[in-house]
Structure 1
Amino acid sequence: MKIMMKKIILLASLNLWFAYLPAQASSVVEVSIAQLIASPERFDGKLVSVVGFFQNEMEESAIYLNRDEMVQAIRKNGIWIELNSSQMQSITKLHNDYAKIEGLFSATERGHFGLWSGSIKDIKKIFRWTPPPIKRKKSLTGH
């Protein structure tokens, strides 16, 4: 009986301990650029995954809400992307295209001259994003 009670107490203690552990840093949060811009403190220090229009030029590696934001240089509607030298070399064909990027978001680090609304560093994944095909519903008239 004593052994059973000790096991129950141990299990209850472990459950309490695990309940107070912070969320795993490795769990990726799917988020929009708009969410990062609107609530940067909510995602600060979290591993995020975003889709947007990616530009990779000298002193300007960033992901924007869309192409127009990049063309018009509305940098506050973008997030600075901090790439290491090997990543810079491997993504040369990804310039000026939509991309999906996964990395660590920082609300306080805002890129070159602090012009962006945050940054994503420690990039885990970066690749060209292709939207899924749109499934069209059949019309009632058969057309």
Structure 2
Amino acid sequence: MILSLILICVSCGSVDTYTSPDYDSGKYTAVSFEQLLKDPNQFDKKKIELVGIFHYGMEEAGLTNKKNPKNRIWIEFDYAKKMIDKNGKSLFKDEKLLRYSGKEVKLKGVFNKENTGHLGIYFAAIEDLHYFGK
């Protein structure tokens, strides 16, 4: 009984991995928030991989840095694009995005320094997302 409860709690806290059908794992450069803030021109319109704390809610879809949560990147979700896990379940169904809010995730997409997101309060955006997960 106790083991079952532990397994349930562990699975509730994890983030599943979702990819688009045309995802290619070898084409992304791993970068940090610090690198993006220091020289956004170097990564503009390039495929990047970024890890941060995911935030999702009313008028919010972003990634923040653990060290400085004020540095926020907008996530430009394309809700028409398929983003599925290994079982074929969609990232955009069953309030998964809300459940992952506050958790650390890895994103792979295209960095756009000109897109400052909803209400212009983000320093940049990740667009053309192909990977959301751990």
State TM-score, norm by structure 2.
Answer: 0.65
Residue 98 of structure 2 corresponds to residue 92 of structure 1? yes
Aligned to 2:59: 59
Distance 1:68 1:107 in 2: 18
Aligned to 1:116: 122
Aligned residue among 97, 108, 112 for 1:102 = 108
Q: How many residues align?
A: 97
Quote the offset at 1:38 in angstroms: 1.8
Structure 2: tracts of 5 or more residues without a match:
1-25, 81-90
Quote the offset at 1:102 in angstroms: 0.4
Distance 1:68 1:44 in 2: 21
- Residue aligned with 2:77, SS: coil
Aligned to 1:78: 72
Q: Which runs of 4+ in 1 moved over 6 A?
A: none
- Residue aligned with 2:56, SS: strand
Quote the offset at 1:67 in angstroms: 7.7
Aligned to 1:126: 132
Code of the aligned partner of 2:97: I
Aligned to 2:8: none
Quote the offset at 1:44 in angstroms: 0.4
Structure 1: tracts of 5 or more residues without a match:
1-25, 130-143
Distance 1:46 1:40 in 2: 10
Identity, % of aligned positions:
28
Q: State whether residues 53 and 67 of structure 1, in contact with CA within 8 Å, keep that contact through their aligned partners in structure 2.
A: no
Code of the aligned partner of 2:60: E
Quote the offset at 1:117 in angstroms: 1.1
Distance 2:78 2:50 in 1: 18
**CA 1:122 to 1:31, structure 2 compared with 1: closer, same or farther past 3 Å?**
same
State TM-score, norm by structure 1.
Answer: 0.61
